[in-house]
Amino acid sequence: MLRWQQAEGKRHALDGPFPPRPDERFEALCGEEVTVAVRDVPQLGGHWFDPTCTGCESAWLARC
Ligand SMILES: [Zn+2]
């Protein structure tokens, strides 16, 4: 399932059954490998203030 996840300064998208946890690495739809930080997880008090990754956005739209 496709989901959005903020990591390393951008809001990336990934395809996976679970949202990544802090310190977990994932490969975003744009091809970048990024690591999730605690501040990237809303359940842990994080906020998604970072801009959407354009590569992930077009990859997301291509899959719909
Ligand atoms: Zn991306």
Q: How far is the CA of 22 from the centre of ligand 1 (A)?
A: 17
User: Residue 35 sits in a domain of what CATH number?
Assistant: 2.30.30
Q: How far is the CA of 30 from the centre of ligand 1 (A)?
A: 4
Q: How far is the CA of 34 from the centre of ligand 1 (A)?
A: 9
Q: How far apart are CA 33 and CA 57, in angstroms?
A: 16
13-62, pLDDT tens digit by residue?
999 999 999 999 999 999 999 999 999 999 999 999 999 999 999 999 99
pTM value? 0.92
9-22, pLDDT tens digit by residue?
999 999 999 999 99
Q: Which domain holds residue 35?
A: 2-49
Q: How far apart are CA 55 and CA 21, in angstroms?
A: 22
In a domain, 8, yes or no: yes
